[in-house]
Amino acid sequence: MFAPAPFLLKDVSVSQVMIQVCVALIPGIAAYASLVGPAILVQLAIATLAALAAEAVMLRILRKPLAMFLTDGSAIVTAWLIALTFPPLAPWWLIVTGTVFAIVVAKHLYGGLGQNPFNPAMVAFAVSIVSFPALMSQWPSVGLQLGLVDQMNVILGWAPRLDALSGATPLDAMKTALNLSDGSFDVTALLANQDIYGNFAGRGWEWVSAGYLLGGLWLWHRKLITWHVPLAFMASLTALSGALWLYNPSQFASPLFHMLSGGAMLGAFFIATDPVSGCTTPRGKLIFGAGAGLLTYIIRVFGGYPDGVAFAVLLMNLSAPLIDLLTQPPVFGMKDKA
């Protein structure tokens, strides 16, 4: 007997969706690689292998069809997001630990594909930054030019971790400077440091963010994401940072700086839009995106961590089921009653 109607199906699949998400990450990855060197590509490879291995082991243990789930691409998306949010010269075992934790605990122990209440990559980031705060805060200093071999030696632990590796992200540097200076530095003076800062945000980082924005817009064009989450995320981040910037431009950086720094663009288009752990109703998505944007700003400016995207998204993941429940759209013919 055949499967029932509809007999015609659109040519779509989970792996197609995941592959397109990976494709959309490529512009950002390219900009990132030109900024920090080939190390990021090595980290992407390490994370991918670790994710697939962890996925295979878990599928075997849970007696799920190996081929079907291993090729769905979801583990690769998780792996790439981990590689792109961890410091690019982090030791290999940190990336592997984070990835394995994401796949085993955050994904499969919650029921596997489609069942995880939290974004696995962000769980990995949060667990790692809490467990290994020093390693997770060491970013290569700007201008540090290491070849592939040197970078590999650092990642694989064959070379000592140089001081030059323990820089901060431009975002973190700004916060630290502003906090330390106690008013004597101001944002404009800091931004004038052209070693660290470019035209809008961190030198080179602004192009990475632009790459993610480009990929995100392509995802929207392909209808794999809707506009709600990214727009609400960017709008709330702009609104809050803009208000404080207008209030005191010497102590608070501009909205553009915040948009193009850290994980804002990656978060807005690739992380907060994760359908499994996010909201699904249109109004729910707006609330989710706006909440994530606000929390990102609050954590990165007033909190103790270099960036706030991971915790902001996890906190919103926590609220997503309730938001969805409260924002159910009215059905056909019932709009005037809702």
Q: Which residues make up the interface to another protein (CB under 8 A)?
A: 1-10, 12-14, 16-17, 65, 68, 72, 74, 112-115, 224, 226, 275-276, 280-281, 328-335
Of 242 and 275, nearer to another protein (C-beta) is: 275
Contact 136, 129 (CB under 8 A): yes
Kindly state the smallest distance separating residue 7's Cβ from another protein, in Å: 4
Q: Which CB, 9 or 180, lies closer to another protein?
A: 9
- The C-alpha atoms of residue 91 and residue 116 are separated, in whole angstroms, by 27
Of 60 and 222, CB closest to another protein:
222
Q: How far is the CB of 60 from another protein (least distance, A)?
A: 17
| Least distance CB 280 / another protein (angstroms) | 5
Copy the structure tokens of residue 335: 């709009």
According to DSSP H, which parts of 114-204 are helical?
Answer: 120-131, 133-136, 148-155, 170-181, 187-191
Q: Which residue has the tokens 């878990």?
A: 58
- 180 vs 177: CA distance, rounded Å: 5
Write out the two tokens for 267: 């978060």
Would you say 108 or 203 has its CB closer to another protein?
108
Smallest distance from another protein to CB 115, Å: 7
Structure token pair of residue 194: 């052209």
Q: Looking at beta carbons only, is 202 or 216 nearer to another protein?
A: 216
**How near is the Cβ of 77 to another protein at its closest, in Å?**
11
The residue (of 72 and 172) whose beta carbon lies closer to another protein is 72
Give the nearest distance from C-beta 95 to another protein in angstroms. 25
Contact between 198 and 204 under an 8 Å Cβ cutoff? The reply is: yes
Q: How far, in Å, are 111, 202, 215, 255, 256 from residue 198 at the CA level?
A: 44, 6, 22, 15, 12
CB 139 within 8 A of CB 169: yes
